[in-house]
Structure 1
Amino acid sequence: MVKSKLRGGYDVSQVLNRDGTHRHPQSFSGSVAHDAVLVLDPSPGENFGHPVFLFYVDVNVTKKRCLHMNGVYLDECLTLALKSRCQNQLKRWQVGWLPGGTLRGRSITVGRAGRLVERASGGLCVIHFLPLVVGVGDSNLTQKLRCVHGEFATCPQLLPMGSPSLPISSCELNKNTRRCHQQPLATHLSCRLYQTCDHAVLISGWRQQMTFQRHIHNLQRFYRMLRINGFHKDHIKTFFASGGQLPDLENVHPATEKAAIRNHVSYICRKQHCADTLVLYLNSPTRNDGTMLLWDADLKERYSVSELLTDLAGCRATRVLLFVDQSYSGVLSKRLRSSQKHLNVGLLNVTLAGAPCNVIPPLTDGELRKEYQGCQNLPTALWHQKQRQIS
């Protein structure tokens, strides 16, 4: 559970721009000053992109006035906030509590353990990310939302996040948000002649209040797993938040560099013989259409399912393995199942490095390292044979 201080008057905005300004001053219905803001997160262990429930709290409001506002009167008036710009914004909602803990007219109920649950019959206007809550008259737009935990869940450990590097003229983003990484990704050095290797791309994005210590732990554990399975450190590229050094990880780049991510994935896929196994680990906040948010809500920093499928279409890697550790993974899975351009995407009956699973006797660690893991030299004749097949 997260909430703001009770008194003083607060306004709500959907998201901050990188320069500190807020993009949509009134992104939620009835977004005006309130005495307090209460946010309930029904899935605190999941990445953001899942529904959260935002309530406005107003004191010194009569019960009659509260009910007229479609609120719930509990000495103070509690009003459920919804997005004002959504497909169902013109639909008439009647809000109120029914016996048994059901919120009338809403797509949420209170479960036996006091847990808020979203029904499948609606919810297109619910909020999926923590809002920006600021004090009235606060020109610095300081976030007032604070986490308070009880028996339900503990507060996540936030990360001290720095801003991306300063703008320079050669950035890939638009003129309002351009920025660049000081050490460009040398994608062209990833593939060598007469050699095929295992490659991996790890993506974990967005900003401070959505990025927790557990996201670093996720990356560290996945990185170690890849290294144990023979992936060379130079062939593991990590795109995390605004970049910077991460313990035990190398080749870390900002997730803000969407063009660099797409160029690298596309290059590995298009280059003949480059990749034996290509692994993608996705661990970012997502919209309900499966779009990954790499930094904020800027269109230039959203990595959509369609864009990812375009980058992986017809990939020349022997196999492509996707580990989708984020909300709304079913959108990507459904698109892949119906696609004829991604036949090598999926978990086959082989190990991560492509070794068979049913060999008797089992392969030794030495045989795995020599014949499957990391990089293998490609016979010259085979390389030329494949080149002729392409031409």
Structure 2
Amino acid sequence: VVAILPDSSAGTLSSKPRGSFSVSQALNGAEGPHRNHQPFPGSTAHDAVLVLDPSPGENFGHPVVLFYVDVNVTKKRCSHLDGIYLDECLTLALKGQCQNQLKRRHAGPERLLGLGNGHSRLAGGAPRSGNRLVERTAGGLCEVHFLPMVVGVGDSNRTQRLRCVHAEFARCPQPLLMGSASMPMSSCELNKNTRRCHQQPLATHLSCRLYQTCDHAVLISGWQQQITFQHHVQNLQRFYRMLQNNGFHKDHIKTFFASSGQLPEGSYSATEKEVIRNHVSYVCRKQHCADTLVLYLNSPTRNDGTMLLWDANLNGIADLKERYSVNELLADLAGCKATRVLLFVDQSYSGVLSKRLRGSQKHPNAGFLNVTLAGAPCNVTPPLTDGELRREYQGCQNLPTALWH
């Protein structure tokens, strides 16, 4: 098998900092001086892949430890590969072409696995002492932050073979139920008249009405079935209900999730970045369209803050159309004409976006104090009644004609 990552160049992984071939080479069909026309040539193939997730309750990306497992490797050969020998040879996989690939770090995988202090065991292996891997880097930009797509050599369908194993450490998460919606978009494009490929179009221009300002929301979640779980669906549903409880009309809450068919009617697939960006931009640019604009972000995230949208072609690699970068999001929100813009960043590396917003002069309506989600003042005497909140702040308010002209 080979392992493919979504967040590095062409899915590149390396099991050794010197003298090894990368997955990108395998995907291109190159192996040293010879050319192999199999989809995944043998240079990067291994007998198995082992992934240990030290933070199973956290959203991806977060650091995971990924090993290649090879049988019929001698102890001497395994040591030469900087591996851990336990009848099989385990070699640490790191992202290739990363900036600190050759930097040394003292906190290696052995410390993560408890192998650095005296004699200890790994996965039932024999007692052993420290290993040269402790000198290897396992951190920073070289860390693996996602579960890889593990594909058998020669499998042109790219069937995911990585499976979660329930251990005492943590339960396996509840997987996302997928039907025909998992069909690659490329196949749908060849059969646009088929019912299962039908997608509800997003009529963004209907979101803003004359002489009216409304509260709007955009919810984004999901990358791939392997790291998108039922609790992500529940996150979206709970946030959706919270918005409705605060007066947001269902027509003004746009949910982008997975491919299609995983959520109730009214949601949209997260396969078209331009649709998402155009909608956010339109609501922001249209004068008097949005009073409050809420963005709820719950996608897997690279360490530079880039959100991963749904893997439309199911190749395991986050292509350009499947990534929503911090720069792109900030450009879509720059100079937004909404009265206030609220971002709920329920994902990893939220500090990147937060820092950029704090230092920006193009996003002045993100700072607010003492107002509710719909913009009502918090400290008025006497307090506003529920009827006054709904009429004057929540949902939509009519604007005088003079204001428009």
* TM-score grouping bracket, smaller chain normalisation: 0.7 to 0.9
Q: TM-score, normalised by structure 2?
A: 0.78
2:12–2:97 contact (8 Å) kept in structure 1: no
2:140 is the alignment partner of 1:123? yes
Code of the residue aligned with 2:79 in structure 1: it is L
- 1:360 deviates by 2.0
2:188 is the alignment partner of 1:158? no
Matches within 5 A, 1:1-391: 10-14=1-5, 24=10, 27-29=13-15, 30=20, 32-91=44-103, 97-99=115-117, 104-106=134-136, 122-161=139-178, 162=181, 163=183, 166-167=188-189, 182-244=199-261, 246-247=263-264, 250-296=265-311, 297-384=318-405
In structure 2, the residue matched to 1:4 is none
- 1:354 deviates by 0.4
Cα offsets for 1:133-167 (capped at 9, x unmatched) = 23344444322211012222111111233226521
1:13–1:28 contact (8 Å) kept in structure 2: no
Q: Which runs of 5 or more structure 1 residues have no equivalent in the other structure? A: 1-9, 17-22, 109-121, 171-179, 385-391
User: Over aligned residues, Cα RMSD in angstroms?
Assistant: 2.6
| Counterparts of 1:308 and 1:139, CA distance in 2 | 34
| Counterparts of 2:269 and 2:252, CA distance in 1 | 17
Percent identity for Structure 1 against Structure 2? 78
2:103–2:137 contact (8 Å) kept in structure 1: no
Code of the residue aligned with 2:245 in structure 1: it is I
Aligned pairs, how many? 345
In structure 2, the residue matched to 1:177 is none
Q: TM-score, normalised by structure 1?
A: 0.81
- 1:183 deviates by 2.9
Name the CA shift for 1:216/1:335 in 2 (closer, same or farther; >3 Å): same
| Counterparts of 1:321 and 1:25, CA distance in 2 | 34
- 1:107 deviates by 5.5
- 1:84 deviates by 1.8
- 1:195 deviates by 0.8
Query: Larger % of helix: which?
Result: 2
Name the CA shift for 1:223/1:217 in 2 (closer, same or farther; >3 Å): same
1:321–1:347 contact (8 Å) kept in structure 2: no
Cα offsets for 1:15-62 (capped at 9, x unmatched) = 59xxxxxx9476333563323211011221222221211011223333
| Counterparts of 1:86 and 1:130, CA distance in 2 | 18
SS at match of 2:68: strand
- 1:380 deviates by 2.3
**More displaced 10-residue stretch of structure 1: 220-229 or 55-64:** 55-64
SS at match of 1:225: helix
Code of the residue aligned with 2:234 in structure 1: it is H
- 1:276 deviates by 0.4
Code of the residue aligned with 2:285 in structure 1: it is R
Cα offsets for 1:244-269 (capped at 9, x unmatched) = 2514xx42111111111111111111
